[in-house]
Amino acid sequence: MKDLIKRIIVDFIERDLPQIKDRSINIPLNSGKIISIVGARRTGKTFLLYLLINKLRAEIPSDRIVYFNFEDDRLFPPTLKTMDLFLQSYYELFPDNKLQHVYFFFDEIQLVDNWEKFIRRIYDNEKCSIFITGSSSKLLIKELSTALRGRSISYELFPLDFKEYLSFNDIEINIHSTKSVTKIINIFNKYVSSTSFPELINMEDELKQKSLREYLDLIIYKDIVERYGVSNIHLMKYLIRFLFSNSGNLISINKIYNELKSSGLNISRNSVYEYISYLEDSYIIFNVKLFTRNLREQFRNPSKYFTLDNGLKKLVSTSEDKGKLLESIVFMHLRRRSNNIYYYLSEQEIDFVLSEEKKLINVCYDLSSRATRIREINSFLNGLKKFKNYSALLLTNDEEGEEIVDGNVIKIMPVWKWILLQE
């Protein structure tokens, strides 16, 4: 095994990495902390590591920068022993580096049981910087918050945001140029209706669809079925179809359970909750709860679930609801910045409540209908009675302006422009 590990180490050190486009996320190279990068599969975690490695290679010798991928089939199944052999092998290859500061990059580390014990040991005893990636939100919540408390900084990586999407399509951002704005709007329409996984954006549609299907199967079988020992695959696939098809709608778990029971399926309510939590853990759905200070009331009310990527959503949904697709884009942009996102419902629904920013946001694709416009304005007027000193933002596909009603200012802006103006 040592000979194999040494070959893997040396092969990587000698390998020329591709030049990677920058992502919006800013990862420090010398923070003194363990850096964890977490997100769904195929969001670009490995290539983000390559980007960091390329930056380091411009400054220090390549033999002080080591990358190790625990999905390498030659290591199957990876264990703590594998990790220890890695460390032994590296310093046998480069004994002089024992006195140097080295950089260790461990990809998909959640595949190794009790990996955090090894990471803590080398963090405490070796002269090194450590970067780890994983495809599970529990990497953020459980292991990092216990064994590595105070030693780590965590970052979440999602599919491309719109600024990144423009960069990957070599589109210059200049909202004061008619020519640039025309290109931006054209690309934005594609961004809303297609996928934003980095390696798929310029693929032919047929190949893109096949790749998305493989992504989804990989998440289902590798990240959920194998990891959690899921036995009822039919239930898991049903929940994926249901949640993806109803992305952005209010959904009651009790209602899902009752529908499943009435169709003759022998399942427990706990199984439904557990399976949905597995989907959340794998970063392919996200839960938006009712804004309330009463946790019992929050639990009793339905949630809104959003899908990670509109391309994945369209795999299983026949709906072409442009409003819901646009709302998903808005949610994912908000989610990249914060996890404190809620909805509110009294007489009418407020799509998003941002308590930290004191902002109410609604998303409406087309405001040309007077009835639609009145409905959206009244929604804000009702919401602003509850949320004092909050601002109101109505995001649309293409309209810009403002409405002033009873002294309340409601700003209206196209989603593409709102995203590009965000810091």
| pLDDT tens-digit map of 160-217 | 999 999 999 999 999 999 999 999 999 999 999 999 999 999 899 999 999 999 999 9
Q: Are residues 211 and 268 in the same domain?
A: yes
User: Does residue 18 sit within a domain?
Assistant: yes
CATH code (residue 270) = 1.10.10.10
Number of domains in the chain: 2
Final residue in a domain of this structure, among 127, 157, 187: 157
Which residues does the chain have with pLDDT short of 70?
Answer: 139-143, 145, 423
pTM of the model: 0.94
Domain that holds residue 144: 2-157
The C-alpha atoms of residue 11 and residue 8 are separated, in whole angstroms, by 5
With residue 296 as reference, give the H or E element that holds it. helix 295-300
The C-alpha atoms of residue 35 and residue 259 are separated, in whole angstroms, by 43
pLDDT (0 to 100) of residue 141 = 62
User: Does residue 166 sit within a domain?
Assistant: no
Q: Are residues 342 and 288 in the same domain?
A: yes
Q: Are residues 204 and 300 in the same domain?
A: yes
User: Does residue 162 sit within a domain?
Assistant: no
The C-alpha atoms of residue 106 and residue 59 are separated, in whole angstroms, by 21
User: Does residue 310 sit within a domain?
Assistant: yes
Q: Collapse the DSSP code of 351 into the 3-class scheme (helix H, G, I; strand E, B; otherwise coil) and give the result.
A: strand
Q: Are residues 262 and 395 in the same domain?
A: yes
pLDDT (0 to 100) of residue 149 = 80
User: Tokens 């939100």 map to which residue?
Assistant: 137
Q: Collapse the DSSP code of 78 into the 3-class scheme (helix H, G, I; strand E, B; otherwise coil) and give the result.
A: coil
Task: Determine the Cα angle at 402 with ends 400 and 407, to 5°.
Answer: 170
pLDDT (0 to 100) of residue 210 = 96
User: Does residue 189 sit within a domain?
Assistant: yes
User: Does residue 167 sit within a domain?
Assistant: no
Q: Are residues 264 and 404 in the same domain?
A: yes
Q: Are residues 100 and 233 in the same domain?
A: no
Q: Report the side by side order of strands in the sheet with 285-290.
A: 250-251, 303-307, 285-290, 342-345, 349-354, 359-363, 391-396, 408-414, 401-405
pLDDT (0 to 100) of residue 140 = 62
pLDDT (0 to 100) of residue 136 = 80
User: Tokens 């909050």 map to which residue?
Assistant: 390
User: Does residue 326 sit within a domain?
Assistant: yes
User: Does residue 172 sit within a domain?
Assistant: no
Q: Are residues 236 and 195 in the same domain?
A: yes
pLDDT (0 to 100) of residue 223 = 85
Q: Are residues 149 and 259 in the same domain?
A: no
The C-alpha atoms of residue 156 and residue 38 are separated, in whole angstroms, by 5
CATH code (residue 91) = 3.40.50.300
Q: Are residues 27 and 143 in the same domain?
A: yes
Q: Are residues 307 and 277 in the same domain?
A: yes
Q: Are residues 19 and 143 in the same domain?
A: yes
Q: Are residues 353 and 414 in the same domain?
A: yes
Torsional class of 44: left (φ above 0), alpha (ψ -120 to 50), beta (otherwise)? left
Structure tokens at 66: 């080591």
